[in-house]
């Protein structure tokens, strides 16, 4: 019994030390209130992958404010990725439950449950590994983002950093690359194609949509009226590539 007690105490001590370490090494997200990140952990990962294949990394990105992104694109992305974004505090319990039920029913992973804030946390700071420590860091960073930033700022950051093709990052770059127009000028059809491509951005091409992407586009268009982004607010935030 004493030996078992010592083992439990040792394990508990290790877990406490791990939690303290994770907490103390969390990034400070407060600068994101007014500063756009020059690069993200995900962009750095893609650059390393390109160099490993002997290629020069491609990086196309043009920062724009929340007000300069089409309301149709905001609406389409919310429908496709996180319809409860304006209601939850970073973690969507209902979505997690529905995801677990869908995955259990199919016997494999067919649906994710990450909110936009969780996706932003992973994109900005984390590796793509699925170990428990990384997941814990993701959840804690998500809570920090929600506590320190407005919802509009979180969505603005997300729409400026997510991958939309090989070396294409953010809504403005995607709009220019695929449709030769500004992100503010995107209509609902184009917005739904871009939103549908987020899950597999290097396989799905919004300019030349596959039948599967067209089906996703139709579903998003059907649901877009149910989610409305708030009106734009002025933004004084500048950043790399800002027009």
Average pLDDT (201-230) is 91
Beta-bridged to residue 232, according to DSSP, are: none
Average pLDDT (67-93) is 93
pLDDT confidence bin for 96, thresholds 50/70/90: low
Question: For 105-143, what is each residue's pLDDT tens digit?
Answer: 545 443 457 999 999 999 999 987 778 888 999 999 999
Domain membership flag for residue 241: no
- Give, in degrees to the nearest 5, the angle at Cα 181 between 180 and 182: 140
Domain membership flag for residue 5: no
Query: Environment class of residue 20 by beta-carbon count within 10 Å: exposed (0-12), middle (13-18) or buried (19+)?
Result: exposed
Can you tell me which residue has the tokens 């809504």?
A: 171
Residue 175 has which token pair? 């709009």
Domain membership flag for residue 59: yes
Average pLDDT (25-31) is 93
Strands (E) across 36-172 are located at: 60-61, 168-169
CA 213 to chain centre: 19
**For residue 82, how many other CB atoms are within 10 A of its CB?**
23
Question: For 144-197, what is each residue's pLDDT tens digit?
Answer: 999 999 999 999 999 999 999 999 999 999 999 999 999 999 999 999 999 999
Looking at every residue in the chain, the average pLDDT score rounds to 85
Domain membership flag for residue 189: yes
Instruction: Tell whether the model's pLDDT for residue 78 goes beyond 60.
Output: yes
Domain membership flag for residue 24: no
Can you tell me which residue has the tokens 């500063």?
A: 35
Domain membership flag for residue 153: yes
- We report the CATH number of the domain holding residue 110 as 1.10.3810.10
Residue 160 has which token pair? 């400026």
Residue 189 has which token pair? 């059809």
The number of distinct structural domains making up the chain is 1
Number of residues in the chain: 243
Please report the pLDDT score of residue 223 as a whole number.
94
Instruction: Tell whether the model's pLDDT for residue 81 goes beyond 70.
Output: yes
Asked if residues 241 and 61 have their Cβ atoms less than 8 Å apart, the reply is: yes
Domain membership flag for residue 105: yes
Domain membership flag for residue 149: yes
User: Domain residues for 202?
Assistant: 40-226
């Amino acid at each position: 019994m004493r030996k078992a007690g010592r083992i439990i105490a040792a394990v508990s001590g290790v877990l406490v030390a791990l939690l303290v370490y994770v907490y103390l090494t969390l990034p400070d997200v407060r600068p994101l209130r007014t500063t756009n990140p020059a690069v993200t952990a995900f962009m750095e990962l893609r650059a390393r992958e390109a160099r490993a294949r002997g290629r020069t990394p491609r990086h196309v990105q043009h920062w724009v404010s929340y007000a300069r992104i089409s309301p149709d694109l905001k609406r389409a992305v919310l429908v496709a990725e996180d319809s409860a974004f304006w209601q939850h505090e970073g973690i969507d319990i209902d979505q997690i439950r529905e995801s677990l039920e869908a995955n259990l029913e199919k016997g494999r992973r067919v649906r994710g449950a990450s909110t936009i804030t969780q996706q932003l946390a992973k994109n900005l700071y984390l590796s793509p590994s699925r170990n428990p420590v990384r997941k814990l860091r993701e959840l804690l960073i998500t809570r920090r983002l929600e506590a320190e930033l407005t919802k509009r700022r979180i969505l603005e950051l997300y729409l400026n950093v997510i991958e939309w093709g090989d070396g294409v990052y953010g809504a403005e770059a995607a709009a220019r690359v695929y449709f030769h127009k500004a992100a503010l000028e995107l209509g609902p059809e184009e917005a739904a194609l871009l939103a549908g491509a987020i899950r597999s951005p290097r396989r799905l091409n919004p300019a030349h949509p596959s039948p599967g992407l067209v089906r996703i586009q139709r579903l998003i268009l059907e649901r877009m009226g149910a989610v409305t982004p708030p009106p734009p607010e002025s933004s004084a935030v500048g950043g790399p590539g800002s027009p």
